[in-house]
C-alpha cells in the first residue's frame, strides 16, 4: 500500500499582500465576494482587476448596494452549499451597516468570512496606503472589532503581511468548523499594499475540524429510555442543514414509531410522512414521557406549555451547551453533543440492537394511532384553507395553499414571513431536504438577500422568497433586485402583506390581553396604513409585479409570476392578507 504523502507547501508568486489575499481566497474555494466597497478596499479591488487582466482566477464580486444584502447573500450561499464566502465592507460604518444580518448569521450558524477595511494607520505618507482623505481620521475607532465581538466566533486585525496566510486559513477553518459561524477580519490599507514576492498556499494543513460523534454510552442510555417510553416525541429544528440527517431521522422515528414535531427552519422530516405531527409542540408536550430534542435552540416556550416533570429529556445537539446564549434554562437529563448527521444513524442502530420482540409489538400498535392523528391534522389544515378561500383580505392559509400548487421538486423557499411562517409550514408540502430555509435569527431584512445568495448557489433551482411587508422594506429591495438582474439570479418574491407589524401587535396583546389597545383598537406604531405600492417599486426595477386583493385571482397570478422567473425575470406578488388582530372589545 502506497504511503500517503504530506501535502507540499506551494508558493504562489504575487506582488503585494492584497494579491496574496486574493490567492488565499482562491485556495479556499471562494466563489463570490459580496462587497460594498470604500476607500479602504481599493487595494483588493485593484488586485481583482489585475487578476482578470492577466487571466488568473479570482472570486467574482457581487456588488451589494447596501451592506445587509452582502451578509444575507453570503449566508444564503452558505446554507445551500456549506461553503463559506467572503463579505467585504467599508471600515467601521460598513461593519455597522451589516446590522441585524450579522445576528442572523450567528444564530443561523452561517460560515461567513466577514472582512472590513480599517482606517490607515499612518499620516505623513511614509508608507503606501497612508491617510489621504478626511474620512481616514474620523473612521478610526479604538476597537472596530468591538462592534461585532459578541456576534462572531473569532476576530483579528491583520498587522503584518508575514502571517497573512496563517490568518486567512484560520478564518476559514474557524468559520467552517461546527458549530459554524461568522468570523471577522480587518484589513488595513498599508498592510494590503506591503510588497511580497510569494504567498504560502497550503489549505490542506489547516483543515476543517471533524464534527464530533456521539459517546457510545450516552447513545446506549438514550436508546434504553426511548425504547422504554410509551409516548416518546422528537422535536427538531435545524438537523436538516445536513441533508443526510433527514433519511436517518426517518429511520430512527420509524424504528420506534416516534412522532416528530418540527420547527421548520430546515426540512428535517418529510411533511407527508405519517409520523410527522406538524409544527406546534404544545399539543403533545404534556403527553410525552420521553423527549428527544435534536438541534433545537428553543424547543418550547415554558409560559405556553412544557413537558411533565417526570418526562425524560434527551438533547442531541451540535451545540448542546448553547454557549453564546447567556441563559438557556431548559431541563435536560441526557445531553449529547454531537453532529446529528452522525449521531442519529448511530442511535437508530443502537435502538435496533436493543429492541426485543415485545418492544416491536408495542411499536406497531403505537404507529397506527399516530397515523390517524397525522391524517386528521392534514385534513383539518386543508379544510381551513378551503373554508377561507373566498375571504377578503385574503386568508394567509389560502395564500399558502395556493403557493403550494406552484412549487415542485426543483423549488427552494427562503422564508422571512414572521408571524405568517406557521401558515407556510402547514401548507407547503416539502419532503426533500434542502428545499426550505429560514435564517434562524430574528433580524428582519434578511429574506431577499438570502434568496439572492441561494439562487447564486443553486442557479438551476427556482427560488421563492416569502416575506412580510415589514420585512420586505427592511430587505433593501432596490439593492437586491438590482443585484439579481446584474448577476442573472432571478427569483420570485411573495409578500404576505397584512399592513401592520403584527408581531408587535401580538406582543401588546400578550402583555395586556384586556388592555386599552385591545379595547380601543389603537395599537400605537403597529399599523402601516396606506402602504406604498410595492408592486410599482418592483416594476420600476424591471420585475414582473402584481398586487392581489381578490382570492380568486391568486393562483393564476402566482402561476404567471413563476413562469416569468423560469424565463429569467424576477417577479413579485404582493398578496393583501388578513391580520390576526382581534376586533375592539
What pLDDT, in 10s, does the model give residues 365-385? 999 999 999 999 999 999 999
| CA-CA-CA-CA torsion sign (28, 30, 36, 41) | positive
- The dihedral region occupied by 412, where left means phi > 0, alpha psi between -120 and 50, and beta the remainder, is beta
Instruction: Scan for cell 436508546, then name that residue.
Output: 223
Helix boundaries (H) for 257-356: 282-285, 340-354
CB atoms inside a 10 Å sphere around CB 432: 14
Percent of the chain with pLDDT over 90: 95
Res 1: pLDDT: 54
Tell me the per-residue pLDDT of 226-250, one tens digit each, with 9 for 90 and over. Answer: 999 999 999 999 999 999 999 999 9
482 alpha carbon, distance to own chain's centre:
22
Tell me the backbone φ, ψ of residue 411, rounded to 5 degrees: -100, 140
CA–CA separation, 246 vs 266, rounded Å?
10
425-446: average pLDDT: 98
Within 8 A by CB and 6+ apart from 123, the residues are 130, 131
Tell me the backbone φ, ψ of residue 292, rounded to 5 degrees: -115, 110
How big is the chain, counted in residues? 585
Res 7: pLDDT: 67
Residue 6 has pLDDT above 70, yes or no: no
65-86: average pLDDT: 99
CA–CA separation, 283 vs 300, rounded Å?
11
DSSP string, 237-261: SSGGGSTHHHHHHHHHHHHHT--EE
Tell me the per-residue pLDDT of 279-313, one tens digit each, with 9 for 90 and over. Answer: 999 999 999 999 999 999 999 999 999 999 999 99
Whether 448 contacts 472, CB under 8 Å: yes
Residue 585 has pLDDT above 80, yes or no: no
431-440: average pLDDT: 98
Banded pLDDT at 24 (limits 50, 70, 90) = very high
CA–CA separation, 572 vs 565, rounded Å?
10
* CATH 3.40.50.970 in the chain, residue ranges: 10-205, 389-576
Banded pLDDT at 3 (limits 50, 70, 90) = low
Within 8 A by CB and 6+ apart from 5, the residues are none
Tell me the backbone φ, ψ of residue 262, rounded to 5 degrees: -100, 150
Whether 374 contacts 276, CB under 8 Å: yes
CA–CA separation, 444 vs 471, rounded Å?
5
Question: Could you tell me the three cell numbers for 218?
Answer: 450516552
Contacts within 8 Å (CB) and 24+ apart, 553-561: 554/394, 554/398, 554/399, 554/402, 555/402, 555/405, 555/406, 558/402, 558/403, 558/405, 558/406, 558/494, 559/406, 561/492
Res 126: pLDDT: 84
CA–CA separation, 427 vs 429, rounded Å?
6
Per DSSP, the three-state class of 373 is helix
Report the chain's C-alpha Rg in angstroms: 26
* CATH 3.40.50.1220 in the chain, residue ranges: 216-379
DSSP label at residue 16:
B
Tell me the per-residue pLDDT of 169-184, one tens digit each, with 9 for 90 and over. Answer: 999 999 999 999 999 9
In terms of CATH, what superfamily is 10-205? Answer: Thiamin diphosphate (ThDP)-binding fold, Pyr/PP domains (3.40.50.970)
CA–CA separation, 177 vs 155, rounded Å?
15
Percent of the chain with pLDDT over 70: 99
Per DSSP, the three-state class of 575 is strand
Banded pLDDT at 359 (limits 50, 70, 90) = very high
45-53: average pLDDT: 98
Please give the helix or strand (H or E) that residue 25 lies within, else none.
helix 17-27
Helix boundaries (H) for 405-553: 421-427, 447-457, 469-474, 477-486, 502-511, 516-520, 534-540
271 alpha carbon, distance to own chain's centre:
20
Please give the helix or strand (H or E) that residue 334 lies within, else none.
strand 334-337
Question: Could you tell me the three cell numbers for 164?
Answer: 497573512
Instruction: Scan for cell 451597516, then name that residue.
Output: 97
Res 168: pLDDT: 98
Within 8 A by CB and 6+ apart from 326, the residues are none
In terms of CATH, what superfamily is 389-576? Answer: Thiamin diphosphate (ThDP)-binding fold, Pyr/PP domains (3.40.50.970)
Whether 256 contacts 363, CB under 8 Å: yes
DSSP label at residue 577:
B
- Please give the CATH topology (third level) of the domain spanning 216-379: Rossmann fold (3.40.50)
Tell me the per-residue pLDDT of 541-567, one tens digit each, with 9 for 90 and over. Answer: 999 999 999 999 999 999 999 999 999
Which residues are 41's β-sheet partners? none
Banded pLDDT at 23 (limits 50, 70, 90) = very high
Helix boundaries (H) for 153-243: 164-176, 189-192, 216-228
Residue 421: exposure state from Cβ atoms within 10 A (0-12, 13-18, ≥19): buried
Question: What angle in degrees, to the nearest 10, is found between the helix axes of 216-228 and 340-354?
Answer: 60
CB atoms inside a 10 Å sphere around CB 11: 11
449 alpha carbon, distance to own chain's centre:
11
Within 8 A by CB and 6+ apart from 174, the residues are 153, 154, 183
Res 551: pLDDT: 99
Residue 129 has pLDDT above 90, yes or no: no
Strands 198-201 and 10-13: antiparallel
CA–CA separation, 99 vs 23, rounded Å?
29
Tell me the backbone φ, ψ of residue 15, rounded to 5 degrees: -105, -30
CA–CA separation, 78 vs 450, rounded Å?
10
**Is this structure's pTM higher than 0.85?**
yes
Return mean pLDDT, the chain. 97
Amino acid at each position: 500500500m502506497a504511503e500517503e504523502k504530506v501535502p507540499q507547501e506551494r508558493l504562489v508568486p504575487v506582488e503585494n499582500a492584497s494579491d496574496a489575499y486574493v490567492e488565499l481566497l482562491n485556495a479556499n474555494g471562494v466563489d463570490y465576494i459580496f462587497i460594498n466597497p470604500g476607500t479602504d478596499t481599493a487595494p483588493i479591488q485593484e488586485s481583482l482587476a489585475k487578476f482578470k487582466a492577466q487571466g488568473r482566477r479570482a472570486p467574482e464580486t457581487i456588488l451589494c448596494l447596501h451592506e445587509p444584502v452582502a451578509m444575507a447573500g453570503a449566508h444564503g450561499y452558505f446554507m445551500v452549499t456549506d461553503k463559506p464566502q467572503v463579505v467585504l465592507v467599508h471600515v467601521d460604518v460598513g461593519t455597522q451597516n451589516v446590522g441585524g444580518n450579522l445576528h442572523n448569521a450567528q444564530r443561523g450558524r452561517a460560515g461567513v468570512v466577514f472582512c472590513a477595511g480599517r482606517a490607515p494607520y499612518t499620516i505623513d505618507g511614509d508608507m503606501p496606503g497612508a491617510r489621504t482623505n478626511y474620512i481616514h481620521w474620523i473612521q478610526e475607532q479604538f476597537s472596530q472589532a468591538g462592534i461585532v465581538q459578541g456576534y462572531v466566533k473569532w476576530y483579528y486585525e491583520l498587522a503584518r503581511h508575514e502571517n497573512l496566510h496563517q490568518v486567512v486559513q484560520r478564518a476559514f477553518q474557524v468559520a467552517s468548523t461546527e458549530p459554524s459561524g461568522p468570523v471577522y477580519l480587518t484589513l488595513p490599507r498599508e498592510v494590503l499594499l506591503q510588497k511580497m514576492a510569494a504567498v504560502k498556499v497550503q489549505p490542506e494543513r489547516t483543515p476543517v475540524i471533524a464534527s464530533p460523534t456521539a459517546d457510545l454510552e450516552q447513545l446506549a442510555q438514550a436508546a434504553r429510555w426511548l425504547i422504554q417510553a410509551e409516548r416518546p416525541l422528537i422535536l427538531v429544528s435545524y438537523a436538516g442543514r445536513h441533508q443526510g440527517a433527514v433519511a436517518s431521522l426517518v429511520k430512527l422515528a420509524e424504528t420506534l414509531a416516534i412522532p416528530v414535531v418540527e420547527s421548520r427552519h430546515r426540512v428535517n422530516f418529510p411533511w407527508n410522512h405519517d409520523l410527522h405531527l406538524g409544527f406546534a409542540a404544545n399539543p403533545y408536550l404534556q403527553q410525552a414521557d420521553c423527549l428527544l430534542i435534536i438541534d433545537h435552540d428553543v424547543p418550547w416556550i415554558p409560559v405556553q406549555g412544557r413537558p411533565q416533570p417526570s418526562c425524560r429529556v434527551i438533547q442531541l445537539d451540535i451545540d448542546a451547551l448553547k454557549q453564546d446564549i447567556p441563559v438557556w434554562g431548559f431541563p435536560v437529563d441526557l445531553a449529547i453533543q454531537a453532529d446529528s448527521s452522525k449521531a442519529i444513524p448511530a442511535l437508530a442502530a443502537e435502538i435496533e440492537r436493543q429492541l426485543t420482540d415485545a418492544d416491536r409489538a408495542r411499536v406497531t400498535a403505537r404507529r397506527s394511532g399516530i397515523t390517524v392523528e397525522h391524517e386528521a391534522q392534514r385534513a383539518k389544515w386543508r379544510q381551513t384553507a378551503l373554508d377561507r378561500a373566498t375571504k377578503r383580505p385574503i386568508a394567509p392559509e389560502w395564500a399558502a395553499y395556493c403557493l403550494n400548487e406552484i412549487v415542485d421538486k426543483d423549488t427552494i423557499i427562503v422564508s422571512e414571513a414572521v408571524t405568517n411562517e406557521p401558515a407556510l409550514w402547514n401548507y407547503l408540502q416539502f419532503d426533500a431536504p434542502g428545499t426550505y430555509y429560514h435564517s434562524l435569527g430574528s433580524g428582519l431584512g434578511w429574506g431577499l438577500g438570502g434568496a439572492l445568495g441561494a439562487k447564486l448557489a443553486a442557479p438551476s433551482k427556482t427560488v421563492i422568497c416569502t416575506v412580510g411587508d415589514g420585512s420586505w422594506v427592511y430587505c433593501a429591495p432596490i439593492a437586491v433586485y438590482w443585484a439579481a438582474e446584474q448577476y442573472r439570479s432571478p427569483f420570485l418574491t411573495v409578500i404576505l402583506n397584512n399592513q401592520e407589524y403584527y408581531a408587535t401587535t401580538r406582543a401588546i396583546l400578550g402583555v395586556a390581553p384586556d388592555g386599552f389597545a385591545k379595547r380601543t383598537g389603537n395599537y400605537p406604531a403597529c399599523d402601516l396604513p396606506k402602504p406604498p405600492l410595492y408592486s410599482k417599486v418592483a416594476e420600476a426595477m424591471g420585475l414582473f409585479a402584481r398586487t392581489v386583493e381578490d382570492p380568486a385571482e391568486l393562483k393564476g397570478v402566482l402561476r404567471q409570476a413563476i413562469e416569468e422567473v423560469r424565463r429569467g425575470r424576477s417577479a413579485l406578488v404582493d398578496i393583501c392578507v388578513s391580520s390576526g388582530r382581534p376586533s375592539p372589545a
